[in-house]
């Protein structure tokens, strides 16, 4: 787990540097520079492009995670494998273009009444979908070749920096909203080019088109896997985008804009999971290939524990300061209605993290088809829950529907890992961490509220971090975190000794 911790620690630094930029952008620049309808449109543009890229990829985004270890033995094999996934993705996108041209009027009619602005920007959805698809394939190839730090830099830091600069220009009236949308597409092109050039310079990206590749014994299995996983991935992205899509159809882009701001606050909890996932996938894929269940169990339980610690600390810290956070957002009185969106989405993300690397274990194993069934079922139920809850509870109903889906999928994945791998993510240390979190939040609720939101956040955060950190270290809940702190402290003493 040591190398995973090192990679994920670097990823975490990059992720939260990006989150800091995203925090300023989403909670200050977006509300300052745009109307809530424009924020809703931008959120849909980005989320739906990711959703469509997963649907049209024909599995090219996911195939590297499971099958790259079988083709990493020689340069020739790697070239052929890379060429295969790129061609597969291109074929999927061409099919998508044909279907999009046929269904264009149907899509426009769905949103014409409540979200007319969306219909005017449909061409940008097509362009950005292609860019995101190309980037996603390159990102998958980078991760399986242990270049997760570069992939995280592109995904978390580079793109957020470029979008923040465009937002500043928009806020200063230097560009129009339409030009900002164009800059958004350009930013994602830049993200792709950075990682593409990086892999070429590292000699980890090269192509060779060889028809004989189709005779490889794994070719048919990859196509079957791709067919199943593309449906599962598409449904997974649909679950994460369904709330925004249905909110726009039911209540318009304004509600989607409010939901976007609240949703972003909640996704701060999710940062450690994304960082660890990038670093851990190659190791889990290899362990599954070699049936190394001892390593799988270690990765599973440690990922669960360390994610619960980091995610739990962040969730409690955010919820402790949620009212003050909305007070510092421009036009915060508008966006404060998303408070309970933060709670439900944040809690669901925390549960996802607490169940560890269950998704990575299942999707890189021979039981990957079960994950598809889970996602399809949850996707259908998600549509039903949104239909039932949005009219009654509005944006909070959308958050509740998404949270229910996340909880159920992770419960089912945990059951699969238990039944087929005989592993649970939880240990006695899990109980320690939960106790530490409860004691910390109860203690911090005793801190009086200060009229200045900035000072209120600073005081409560200082107290929480002190109590949570002290109890966590003294309880010795995580050997990895205690070991990392001891190592850092040792370096500090040696430098100042």
Percentage, residues of the chain above pLDDT 90: 24
The reply to whether 348 and 284 lie within a common domain is yes
| DSSP 8-state assignment for residue 477 | -
The pLDDT-based confidence of 231 (bands split at 50, 70, 90) is: low
The reply to whether 407 and 438 lie within a common domain is no
C-alpha neighbours within 13 Å on the C-beta side of residue 113: 7
146: nearest Cα among 290, 6, 47: 6
Alpha helix stretches (DSSP H) within 155-206 = 159-171, 177-201
Q: In this model, does residue 456 exceed pLDDT 60?
A: yes
Looking at 40-49, 414-423, 486-495, which range is the least confident one?
Answer: 486-495
Q: In this model, does residue 495 exceed pLDDT 50?
A: no
Q: In this model, does residue 111 exceed pLDDT 80?
A: no
Which long-range CB contacts under 8 A does 6-9 form with residues at least 24 apart? 7/146, 7/148, 7/149, 7/278, 7/279, 8/272, 8/275, 8/276, 8/278, 8/279, 8/280, 9/484
The reply to whether 489 and 366 lie within a common domain is no
Residue 241: other Cβ atoms inside 10 A = 21
Looking at 23-32, 93-102, 442-451, 464-473, which range is the least confident one?
Answer: 23-32
pLDDT at residue 329, rounded to an integer: 85
The reply to whether 371 and 412 lie within a common domain is yes
Q: Which position has the higher pLDDT, 480 or 7?
A: 480
Give Cα 493 distance to the centre of its chain: 37
The reply to whether 306 and 448 lie within a common domain is no
| DSSP 8-state assignment for residue 357 | S
The reply to whether 435 and 353 lie within a common domain is no
Question: What span, in angstroms and rounded, lies between the C-alpha atoms of 141 and 129?
Answer: 18
The reply to whether 366 and 475 lie within a common domain is no
* Domain span at 456: 431-497
The reply to whether 419 and 446 lie within a common domain is no
Question: What span, in angstroms and rounded, lies between the C-alpha atoms of 461 and 477?
Answer: 22
pTM: 0.70
The phi, psi pair for 208, rounded to 5°, reads -155, 125
If you compute the radius of gyration of the chain from its CA atoms, what whole number of angstroms results? Answer: 23
Q: Of 397, 426, 455, which residue constitutes the final position of a domain?
A: 426
274: nearest Cα among 465, 1, 14: 14
Packed helices 368-393 and 219-251: angle between N→C axes, nearest 10 degrees: 0
The reply to whether 419 and 435 lie within a common domain is no
The reply to whether 456 and 385 lie within a common domain is no
Question: What span, in angstroms and rounded, lies between the C-alpha atoms of 183 and 248?
Answer: 23
Q: Of 407, 426, 445, which residue constitutes the final position of a domain?
A: 426
pLDDT at residue 459, rounded to an integer: 93
Number of structural domains, the chain? Answer: 2
**Mean of per-residue pLDDT scores for the chain:** 82
The reply to whether 364 and 484 lie within a common domain is no
Q: Of 402, 426, 450, which residue constitutes the final position of a domain?
A: 426
119: nearest Cα among 133, 136, 106: 106
Alpha helix stretches (DSSP H) within 218-338 = 219-251, 253-267, 271-289, 293-320, 322-328, 332-335
Q: Which position has the higher pLDDT, 219 or 431?
A: 431
The reply to whether 451 and 359 lie within a common domain is no
Token pair 């300061």 in the structure block, residue: 321
Contact 239, 378 (CB under 8 A): yes
What b-and-e string marks burial along 251-264, b requiring 16 or more CB atoms within 10 Å of the CB? bbbbbbbbbbbbbb
């Amino acid at each position: 787990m040591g190398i995973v911790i090192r990679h994920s620690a670097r990823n975490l630094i990059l992720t939260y540097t990006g989150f800091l930029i995203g925090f300023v952008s989403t909670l200050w620049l977006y509300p300052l520079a745009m109307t809530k309808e424009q924020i809703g449109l931008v959120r849909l543009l980005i989320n739906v492009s990711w959703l469509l890229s997963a649907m049209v990829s024909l599995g090219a985004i996911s195939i590297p995670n499971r099958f790259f270890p079988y083709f990493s033995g020689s340069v020739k094999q790697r070239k052929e494998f890379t060429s295969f996934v790129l061609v597969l993705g291109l074929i999927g996108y061409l099919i998508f273009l044909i279907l999009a041209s046929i269904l264009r009027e149907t899509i426009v009619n769905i949103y014409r009444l409540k979200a007319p602005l969306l219909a005017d920007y449909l061409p940008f959805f097509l362009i950005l979908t292609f860019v995101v698809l190309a980037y996603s394939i390159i990102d998958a190839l980078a991760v399986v070749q242990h270049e997760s730090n570069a992939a995280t830099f592109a995904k978390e830091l580079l793109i957020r920096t470029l979008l923040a600069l465009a937002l500043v220009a928009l806020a200063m009236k230097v560009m129009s909203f339409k030009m900002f949308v164009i800059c958004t597409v350009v930013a994602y092109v830049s993200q792709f080019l950075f990682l593409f050039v990086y892999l070429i310079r590292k000699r980890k990206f090269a192509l060779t088109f060889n028809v004989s590749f189709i005779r490889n014994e794994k070719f048919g299995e990859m196509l079957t896997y791709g067919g199943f996983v593309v449906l599962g991935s598409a449904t997974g992205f649909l679950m994460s985008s369904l709330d925004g899509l249905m909110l726009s159809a039911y209540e318009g882009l304004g509600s989607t804009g409010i939901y976007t701001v609240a949703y972003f606050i909640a996704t701060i909890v999710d940062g450690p999971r994304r960082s660890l996932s990038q670093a851990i996938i190659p190791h889990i894929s290899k362990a599954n290939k070699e049936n190394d269940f001892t390593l799988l169990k270690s990765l599973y339980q440690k990922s669960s524990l360390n994610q619960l610690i980091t995610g739990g600390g962040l969730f409690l810290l955010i919820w402790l300061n949620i009212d003050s956070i909305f007070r510092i957002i421009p036009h915060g009185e508008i966006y404060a209605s998303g408070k309970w969106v933060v709670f439900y989405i944040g809690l669901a993300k925390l549960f996802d993290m607490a169940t560890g690397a269950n998704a990575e274990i299942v999707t890189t194993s021979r039981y990957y088809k079960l994950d598809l069934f889970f996602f399809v079922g949850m996707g259908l139920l998600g549509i039903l829950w949104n239909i039932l809850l949005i009219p009654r509870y509005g944006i909070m109903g959308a958050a509740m529907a998404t949270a229910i889906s996340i909880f159920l999928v992770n419960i089912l994945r945990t059951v699969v890992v238990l039944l087929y791998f005989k592993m649970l993510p939880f240990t006695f240390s899990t109980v320690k961490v939960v106790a530490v979190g409860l004691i910390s939040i109860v203690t911090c609720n005793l801190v009086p509220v200060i009229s200045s939101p900035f000072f209120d956040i600073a005081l409560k955060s200082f107290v929480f971090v002190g109590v949570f950190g002290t109890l966590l270290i003294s309880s010795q809940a995580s050997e990895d975190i205690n070991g990392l702190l001891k190592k850092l402290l040792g370096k500090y003493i040696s430098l100042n000794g």
